[in-house]
Amino acid sequence: MHADGLRSGGPQADDPRPRGDGLTEGSPHRIPARRFLLAAFGAPGHAFPAIALGRALVARGHTVCLQTWSRWQEHVEREGMAFAPAPEYEVWPGGSAMTPYGAAVRAARETVPLIRETDPDVVVADVLTVAASLAAQMERRRWATLVPHVLPTAEPGLPPYSVGARLPRTRAGEAMWALWRPLLSRGEERGRLELNEARERLGLGALDHPHGGLSRRLAIVATFPQLEYPRREWDRSIR
């Protein structure tokens, strides 16, 4: 629904929350306008949070270009952003021989000209839109990650984030989920190796840690705190 009743009439001061809002961190008062390039592939659960973030940045007086699938162009432009079409490929197992990371390499190369054209101060890539984060690194731009669901990183004793299970309440429950850890670790390592292969093809260095699609400078978790598992320690890059 088009929430005209919720839209601000003009630029807002940056959020004075104790930890800041991450993207416009610093003084709680007005800061100079910045240029942002947001990127999200076109599934609604990923495109809409990026549109919401872009709308908030525009309301604060910043210039925003959002790269996503063409089906959302009207929605992007209606919120005061420039629209850029994202590459759209069919990837395996949908009948094409192109793998997800093969598509990411191709899309990253196609995104580099957009970065040069828009000259963003910051690139914000959806957690699954690896191509934009790779292109940002190729162009030596600051980049952040938008996570439109709970934080996907694992921690001992916690269920895998994607299954939606409740936090274990007993040591037996923690032990049960610990049995999954070797399987999850193998999956994370496979993802790291595949991403590093893609990075090598783009002239980028290898990473020695999993979840390379998460920015270690700023990752915005766009969910409710009540949905997150309590963690022993939150990295300072997570907002």
Question: Phi and psi (nearest 5°) for 140?
Answer: 55, 45
Query: Which residue type, as a one-letter code, is found at position 229?
Result: Y
- Nearest CA among 125, 118, 97 for reference residue 220: 125
Output the pLDDT for position 58.
96
Contact predicate 183/87, CB 8 Å: no
Output the pLDDT for position 121.
97
Distance CA 93, CA 203 (A): 27
| 3-state SS string for 125-178 | EECCCHHHHHHHHHCCCCEEEEECCCCCCCCCCCCCHHHCCCCCCCHHHHHHHH
Peptide bond before residue 85 is cis, with ω within 30 degrees of 0: no
Output the pLDDT for position 183.
82
Output the pLDDT for position 46.
94
Output the pLDDT for position 95.
55
Domains of the chain: 4-227 (3.40.50.2000)
On the 0-12 / 13-18 / 19+ scale of CB atoms within 10 A, 238 is buried
Positions of E strands within 1-91 = 35-39, 63-68, 82-85
Q: What is the pLDDT along the chain (239 residues), one digit of tens a residue?
A: 333 333 433 444 444 443 445 565 554 556 789 999 999 988 999 999 999 999 999 999 999 999 999 999 999 999 999 999 998 876 655 555 678 888 899 999 999 999 999 999 999 999 999 999 999 999 999 999 999 988 888 777 778 777 777 888 888 888 888 887 888 888 888 999 999 999 999 999 999 988 888 899 999 999 888 888 888 778 788 88
Supply 77's token pair.
Answer: 């432009």
pTM (whole model) above 0.85: no
Output the pLDDT for position 3.
35
Query: What is the Cα 236 distance to its own chain's centre?
Result: 16
Output the pLDDT for position 239.
84
Contact predicate 2/29, CB 8 Å: no
Output the pLDDT for position 160.
78
